[in-house]
Amino acid sequence: MAVIALTAAKGAPGVTTTCLALALAWPRPVLLIEADVAGSSSILAGYLRGSIRHDKGLVDVALAHRRGSLLDGLHQASIPLQDSTVRLVPGPTGPAQAVTLQNVWEPIAGVLRGLERTGTDVIVDAGRLGARYGPTPLLREADVTLLTTRTTLPAIAATRARAATLREDLFAQGTGDDALALLLVGEGHPYSAREIKSAVGVPVAAAVAWDPVHAEVFSIGASPSGKFASSSLLRSVRAAASAIQDFVTGRRERLAPGSLVRDTLLRDTGATRV
């Protein structure tokens, strides 16, 4: 169905936690890509608590690309997450590995879009915006780029400062600036979606609840309590998964050839790209 990328302006709002939770709640098979170049797989060490030996990752995909077998490389670098239809591709171990990825992001973006034909969706943990050797081409090619933020004033200020640049980049180099939306972590703690949308000037596609206890199941592999399945976190993640799919579907309908909305937008903005 789609490529969904999550990134953040600043700090650690919960990008990795939300990516993993969304992937596990997703209604179709997911390839979850850790494209955060800050280093070392948060999911292998966190959620899986180092219990699985897997020494492959995106850097092996770069090597496979040199051999002309990028798709095979992606599959071989991935590991299945138990009791799910999620396969994880661990990220680079640090900046040294990230350098080797700089020319591979673009071909990877192309291959990821093609995965749709196999019924697999892709969720990308793109880490922090603007990181050196970061996965910018994945953000540009995604069906939706979710700028993830907490709802405190400092988080909103940082998000607002970066949103304008990201929007311009997606318009000029990506599939269009309407791919940009916010994902809120902890809506109402203290600001609401409506307040943040008007402060940042970007629509809110989805929100997940503020739930530090259950978030640790994903972030550090804490044992889930009996209340985990009915927790506010999981309920909000399920709702977020469905809101994100609606966002993607709505956008594709607007972009479909012959769409009245698209043609009007292009005419009004004087843009020529399709």
Ligand X SMILES: Nc1ncnc2c1ncn2[C@@H]1O[C@H](COP(=O)(O)OP(=O)(O)O)[C@@H](O)[C@H]1O
Query: Would you tell me which residues interact with Mg ion (CB under 5 A)?
Result: 15-16, 42
C-alpha–C-alpha distance, residues 232 and 185, integer Å:
12
Tokens of 150: 């907490």
- Cβ density class 149-159: b for 16+ within 10 Å, e for less: bbbeeebbebb
Tokens of 136: 């910018």
193 binds ligand X (CB under 6 A): no
Please choose, out of 78-86, 111-119, 164-172, 214-222, the segment that lies near ligand X by the rule CB under 6 A: 214-222
Interface positions, 232-251, toward ligand X (CB under 6 A): 233
216 binds ligand X (CB under 6 A): yes
Please choose, out of 59-67, 86-94, 110-118, 211-219, the segment that lies near ligand X by the rule CB under 6 A: 211-219
Q: How far is CA 94 from the centre of its chain?
A: 19
C-alpha–C-alpha distance, residues 143 and 179, integer Å:
6
14 binds ligand X (CB under 6 A): yes
Q: Compute the least distance from the CB of residue 152 to ligand X, in Å.
A: 12
> Of the candidates 21, 39, 226, which has an alpha carbon nearest to the alpha carbon of residue 128?
39
Tokens of 56: 């492959």
Interacting residue with ligand X among 208, 234, 240, 248 (CB under 6 A): 208
206 binds ligand X (CB under 6 A): no
C-alpha–C-alpha distance, residues 71 and 53, integer Å:
22
Per partner kind, with CB cut-offs from 5 to 8 A, the member of ligand X, Mg ion, none near residue 13 is ligand X
Q: Compute the least distance from the CB of residue 149 to ligand X, in Å.
A: 10
List interacting residues with ligand X (CB under 6 A): 8, 12-17, 42, 185-186, 208, 210-212, 215-216, 219, 233
